[in-house]
Amino acid sequence: MTAHTTTFALAASGRALTWTGNGEYVRIDAWGPDAVRVRAAKMHPVEDTEWALLPSPDSHSNQSPVSVQIDDEKGTATLRTGKIEVRATAHAWDCSCHLDFLKVQKDGTLTPLFQERPSGGSLQLNARNYEAIIGGDEKITASFTAPEDEHLYGMGEYQNTPLDLKGSTLELAHRNSQASVPFVLSSAGYGFLWNNPAIGRVSFSRNVTQWVADSARQLDYWVTVGDSPARIEANYADATGHAPRMPKWGMGFWQCKLRYWNQQQVLDVAHEFKKRGIPLDVIVIDFFHWPHMGDYRFEKEFWPDPKAMCDELHELGIKVMVSVWPQVALDSENYQEMRAKNLLVTADRGVDVGMMFEGPSQFYDATNPSARQYVWDKCRKNYADMGVDAFWLDEAEPEYLGYYFENYRYYAGPAQQVGNIYPREYDRGFYEGQEQMGRDGSIVNLTRCAWAGSQRYGALVWSGDVGSTFADLRSQIVCAIQMGVAGIPWFTTDMGGFHDGRIDTPEFRELFLRWAQFETFLPVMRNHGDRSKLNADGSMKEQIHAADGSRRSPSGADNEPWSMGDEVEKVLRKFIGIREIVRPYTAELFEQAHHDGQPLVRGLFYEFPHDRAAAEIGDEFMYGPDLLVAPVTHEGDRKREVYLPGDHSVSWTDVRSGKVYEGGQTISCDAPLSSVPVLARDGKDHGLAGQL
């Protein structure tokens, strides 16, 4: 390969193609097999900030072949690596450069994928637009034209029920129950990662796809192609990191409530599980087991001997998880030290407070390596060394009061420019700390948010504080599918929803069982929520006070399998048993996630990309390649229609009746409250025949 210079400023630079002009620097790198990375900046060369991406696999000795061709006369150039080609066309009249992305077919022909939006002649549109921020960097907008008939999936967790994102506009920001993970998979055969943690938005319109970073130093995105969704996901995992192995104890049933507020409660519940013969892998101790947020320890009055508690639970075969919040209360014993050492997020204006829940607090700065180490040292001493096995990293967005992102500043930069990286760095601090303890192979941390790359830090993402309604249940099915596409294969929800579940009402009990049936086929089956009931005195909560009469955070109503009566316990026990039956299959799926980046929960489109009827179905899903699960998502329903993807070459066996159907049709399935439709692809029922 020979370097060239031209009057159009296109040049080959090693395994990259570059262009300069009109104050702009553009660089296109081969970045793994069948993938490229595009960066562009105004008035400075592009920077090597990795953000979501790992170092390029092409930096290793086993580099994939790359071809860069430049035509000096035409002012065009191409970079080809594997099955992707980028075509750059330089225009002398306005000193610009336009990019087209194409897929290389097996016979060598090229299929257009998408392209930067043309200038439109007299319209003078800019595909890469830099809007100056006075005294700072730029608001950057990247605009593309893409196939009108493509279907788009991924982008993380948004509380929407449409599965196909074409036509949607999404905020690129985290909120409680919203995790923005900016990777999108197209039915046209490509995957696109917006490699920028800035607050912004994306619009997948029919006439233009537009990505916006409200404040950034440069444009940065990564594109890959593949012949199937599975291949594209594998490429994406190679580029951003693979999930570790899920330990066996993470695959069973997890029990939690808001909140076990003392040591004896936890032990009593654990022993009751054993007495009733209900399998239990993990018990979770939720928030405000501490004196103040940011103390990172158990409160002695209510938790007199945490180590003895953990030892007793371990003897019962139960792992222990505790909740940790990133808030540090102004009253915390650690606040003054952390503030003096610059380990906290700071507000640019006004009162330096990030949240007011249970008193004023500020978030610790997870983007600061010293802050991550400080918090981990506290948590290791006060939790891990006491026998705690795993951590629940709550409030991971973080959940600012009012979400005024522009008012906060991190070690890594202004929140407006880098804020979306926060949850990943929060996960990272605990993952690396547990690695230092030698816990490789057994690290699982529950977290309420994620960004691209969070999966490599053992992040089990749950969908946040969603409502206890059937509408919320429907949304969680879509969230599970989209998070898997976005590269986060470990996902769960609060069984029954978080808010306002009245355990003494038949309506909630029905919702709870339908949600439990759905969760049986999620990566993690986890019972949690802020339950309530009408007490004899008319109150809804259990009020907690210390011995001196001072108030503590209240607790929700009971939330164990037996808390809602015999019928609920019977059905829930059945589905916890189903979870045990499919445990070997679940282990296989976690291995696929670890090795190949494959999601456990898959939309029908994922396994059947050529079935047009499956493209927009978001109320049923594949659990791995073999089991089709169709949760009941409307109150009172005792039947539901189920679409069977594929064609006559695919068979579907109802694991309850044994009846066999051909693919490509819709059937009506019975769905009594004690059961859920599950169909096995080509007879692969994984032990479920006759069990549901």
CA trace torsion 232, 233, 238, 240 (10° rounding): 120
Respond yes or no: is residue 94 known to be catalytic: no
Respond yes or no: is residue 394 known to be catalytic: yes
The amino acid at 238: D
Q: How many CB atoms lie within 10 A of CB 12?
A: 20
CA 411, distance to chain mean position in Å, is 24
Q: Which two tokens stand for residue 79?
A: 């970079």
Q: How far is CA 340 from CA 85, 336, 344, 411, in A?
A: 52, 6, 9, 14
Tell me whether residue 109 is exposed, middle or buried, using C-beta atoms within 10 angstroms of its C-beta: 0 to 12, 13 to 18, 19 or more: exposed
Q: Which two tokens stand for residue 612?
A: 């047009």
Q: How many CB atoms lie within 10 A of CB 581?
A: 16
Say if CB 288 and CB 297 are below 8 A apart.
no
Tell me whether residue 548 is exposed, middle or buried, using C-beta atoms within 10 angstroms of its C-beta: 0 to 12, 13 to 18, 19 or more: exposed
Q: How far is CA 590 from CA 532, 537, 577, in A?
A: 35, 48, 19
What one-character DSSP code corresponds to residue 692?
Answer: -
* Distance separating alpha carbons of residues 52 and 222, to the nearest angstrom: 10
Antiparallel, parallel or unpaired: β 501-502 and 525-527: unpaired
Say if CB 29 and CB 46 are below 8 A apart.
no
Say if CB 444 and CB 390 are below 8 A apart.
yes
Out of 116, 137, 281, 397, the active site residue is: 397
Q: Which two tokens stand for residue 356?
A: 């007011």
Antiparallel, parallel or unpaired: β 459-462 and 408-410: unpaired
Tell me the three-class secondary structure of 197-233, residue by residue. Answer: CCCEEEEECCCCEEEEEEEECCEEEEEEECCCHHHHH
Alpha carbons within 13 A on the beta-carbon side of 579: 28
What one-character DSSP code corresponds to residue 400?
Answer: -
* Distance separating alpha carbons of residues 510 and 627, to the nearest angstrom: 24
* Distance separating alpha carbons of residues 178 and 171, to the nearest angstrom: 9
Sign of the C-alpha dihedral computed for residues 671, 644, 162 and 526 taken in this order: positive
Out of 71, 465, 542, 616, the active site residue is: 465
Q: Which two tokens stand for residue 641?
A: 């229609």
The amino acid at 360: P
CA 238, distance to chain mean position in Å, is 17
Say if CB 90 and CB 107 are below 8 A apart.
no
Using alpha carbons only, what angle is made at residue 496 by residues 493 and 497, rounded to the nearest 5 degrees?
A: 60
Tell me whether residue 62 is exposed, middle or buried, using C-beta atoms within 10 angstroms of its C-beta: 0 to 12, 13 to 18, 19 or more: exposed
Respond yes or no: is residue 567 known to be catalytic: no
Out of 394, 399, 530, 611, the active site residue is: 394
Q: Which two tokens stand for residue 608?
A: 């059947």
Query: Could you please report the per-residue DSSP string of 445-472?
Result: EEES---TTGGGGTEEEE--S-BSSHHH
Q: Which two tokens stand for residue 29?
A: 């790198």
78-104 in b/e form (b: 16+ CB < 10 A) is: bbbbbbbbbbbbbeeeeebbbbbbbbb
Give Dmax (Cα) for the chain. 87
Active site residues: 394, 397, 465
